[in-house]
Structure formats: structure tokens, C-alpha cells
Amino acid sequence: MADDSSDFFGKLDAKLNDQTAIKVANEDRANELRIFASEVFERVTPIAQDYASKLKDKGITAVVSSYATGIDFKLTFQDGGHYNLSLGIGRSGRTLEFEGDYTNDDGRPYRSVDGASYAEETWRDEVFIDKLQHHIEDYVFYSDRHRGVA
């Protein structure tokens, strides 16, 4: 019986090398995304702050928080409920994603993602503006269910 161990270990080495290459590529991609995301958050934070300032003139308080992995735009209802929009690095670690965090009509918390994700090739800052405007419009629409805007 011939010793096939060298053939076996050669195949095993090839698989291990492939796994290492994939791991390195994923780490490189994650680093690229962190750099890209940081640049995006830096650009859109002043936009969010401008919207918050204009909402304040209308009696609506918006809190903008920006950090290394995302930006939050938080709105609160009179009854204490919340209506928040976040842009951050998605769970996959490979794209940017929006997430909504809301208080349902029944008072329970609710989280939602729209299923869209954005990489360098597909991102435009206008996407943030569109999502932010839609978020604010929805907040005003739902505010009567929560005793008004705050």
C-alpha cells in the first residue's frame, strides 16, 4: 500500500493557504470600508446637523451623533417614543447600511433595515439626504400617534 500522505498534506496545505488568503482579503476589505465610511460620516454629519438646526426652528428637537462606525439622527415624540435613523457599517462589515429604530404605535420598540447596502461604487451623499428627508417626513406623519413632535 502506497503512502498517500504527501498528496493529502499537499491538498491540505492548499486549502489552508486559500483560507488564509480569504481572511487577509476580508481584513483588507474591512479596513478599506472603515476608511471610506469615516470619510462618508465626516461629509454627512454637517448635513445632518444643518437639518437638526432647521428642525429646531420648527420646534422639533433632533440629536445628531457621529462616531467612527456610524451616524445617528434621533427624533423624539411627545409621549417619549423615538424615531431614529442610523447609517453605519453593516453587519457583514463590507458595506454601509441604514437602520431605523422606532417606537411602534403600541409603544414597543421596532428596528428595520431597508435591505439596501452601499459600497464605494454605489454610494452618493444624496442617498443620505433622501433617506434623512424621508425619515423626517415619516416622523411628522406618525407624530400625531405619539402626542406630537418634541
pLDDT at 91: 85
- What tens-digit pLDDT sequence spans the chain (150 residues)? 556 788 899 899 999 998 988 888 878 878 888 999 999 999 999 999 999 999 999 999 999 999 988 999 999 999 999 999 999 998 888 899 999 999 988 889 999 998 899 999 999 999 999 999 999 999 999 999 999 898
CA count, 13 A, side-chain hemisphere, 89: 17
User: Are the C-beta atoms of 71 and 44 separated by less than 8 Å?
Assistant: yes
pLDDT at 2: 56
Distance separating alpha carbons of residues 113 and 129, to the nearest angstrom: 17
Burial of 88 per CB tally in 10 Å (0-12, 13-18, 19+) = middle
SS3 of residue 58 by DSSP: coil
pLDDT at 142: 93
Could you tell me the three cell numbers for 36? Answer: 471610506
Could you tell me the three cell numbers for 77? Answer: 415624540
Distance from first CA to last CA of the chain, Å, rounded?
81
Distance separating alpha carbons of residues 48 and 66, to the nearest angstrom: 10
Number of domains forming the structure of the chain: 1
Q: Flag whether the pTM goes above 0.85.
A: no
Instruction: Kindly give the pairing relationship between strand 96-103 and strand 62-67.
Output: unpaired
User: Are the C-beta atoms of 48 and 73 separated by less than 8 Å?
Assistant: yes
Range of the domain at 122: 5-146
Burial of 21 per CB tally in 10 Å (0-12, 13-18, 19+) = exposed
